[in-house]
């Protein structure tokens, strides 16, 4: 499983990194993405869904862990 940590990055960098990584996934492959709370998590989820992927989100002390399946 590919892991992407975007915590501490300013927008739009998290969206750019996640979009690139999700596009590289093969069908059935998963990725784990760490994002900060707030606008970054909303923007990343929107980008993931716009690429036609499923995403599950779990809240953590330092943000969110998003699991993406292509």
Please provide residue 64's backbone torsions phi and psi, each rounded to the nearest 5 degrees.
Answer: -130, 150
Widest distance between CA atoms in the chain: 31
The dihedral built from the CA positions of residue 21, 26, 32 and 37, taken in this order, carries a sign that is positive
53 is catalytic: no
Q: Which residue among 11, 23, 29, 39 is the active-site one? A: 11
d(CA 45, CA 22): 11
Cite the active site residues.
Answer: 11
């Amino acid at each position: 499983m590919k892991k992407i940590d975007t915590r501490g990055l300013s927008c739009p960098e998290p969206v750019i990194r996640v979009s690139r990584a999700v596009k590289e996934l093969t069908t059935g492959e998963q990725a784990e993405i760490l994002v900060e709370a707030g606008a970054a998590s909303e923007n990343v989820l929107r980008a993931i869904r716009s690429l036609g992927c499923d995403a599950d989100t779990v809240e953590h002390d330092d943000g969110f862990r998003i699991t993406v399946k292509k």
